[in-house]
Structure 1
C-alpha cells in the first residue's frame, strides 16, 4: 500500500479523474491479490500493479469513447418513423414548389445559375462566383435576391 498515491496519480493522468483513479487502484490491488503470481520480487510486483492499473484505466477510456460515440450519433434515417403527409399538405407543398420554380424562371440566367449551384448543388459562394466570373459579393447578392423574391411570392400566396 506504500505506492498507492503514485498508482492513483498514474491512473489519474490516464483517466483525467482522481476519483475514478482511486477506484481503479483499488480494483488493481484486488486483482493483484487474487492473481496466481509466482514468487516475485517487490520490484516485479510493483511493475505488475502498474500494468494492471494501466490496463484497467485504458479499458475505462475505451468504454467512455464507445459510449460517447453511441450517444452523439443520431439514429440511422431508416429507423426514425416517417410522418405521413396528408393529401392537402402534399398539394400545398407542390404549389409552393411550382411558385418557387416560376419565380426562379423569371429571373436572369446568372441569378438562376447562382441559386441552383448554391442552394441545390451545395457549392460555396466562392465557387459560384468563380464559375460565373463575378465577385463573391455579387454571387451572394444574386442568391439573396432570388430567395427574397421567392419568399415574397410565397407570402402573397399564403396571404
Structure 2
C-alpha cells in the first residue's frame, strides 16, 4: 500500500481565522481567496480522503471535485459557518460513495486501514518511544470505525467537536462519546504496555 501523504500540523488560531476570512470572500466570488483556501486545506483533505479510500490518486481527485462543487455552489453557503467542516464533509461523502461503489472495497479488505502516521520519525525519539508510537498506530487501527474517524478529525486535523459532528452527521454529544471511548481504550493499552515493560525490566 502506498504511503499516505505527509501529515500536516494542526491549524493555529490565526490560520483558522484566515480560513473564515477566505470563506467569506469566496462566497462573494473572490478567486484569489478560493486559491488561498485551496492551498491551505488541500493537504489535510487529501490525507483524510486517503485514510478512507487507500488510494492517494483517487483521494487527490476527490479533493479537486470537492473544491469544484464548493466553488460552483459558493453563493449557497453560509459564510458564518465552518468552512473546514463543509469541506471535510464533502470529501467524506465522495470518499464513502467511492468505497460503497466497490471501486476500492476488495483492496481495502486486503490491505486494511492506514492510520495517521508521521512521514519521518522524530530524531529525538528514543527507541522505546518509537516502539510505543508504532503500537499506538496499531491500536488505532483496532478502534471501531466511528471512534477512529472522530479521533483522527480531532487530534490530527484539529476540528472542533461541533465541526466533527457536522462532518460525520451526528450530534456533538455523540462525537464526545466516540472520543472518550477511543482515548480510554488507547490509555488502557498504553498503561498495560508500560506495566508489561516494567515487569520485563525488573525480570
Normalising by the residue count of structure 1, what TM-score does the alignment of the two structures yield? Answer: 0.43
Structure with the larger RCO, 1 or 2 (CA within 8 Å, 6+ apart)? 2
Normalising by the residue count of structure 2, what TM-score does the alignment of the two structures yield? Answer: 0.34
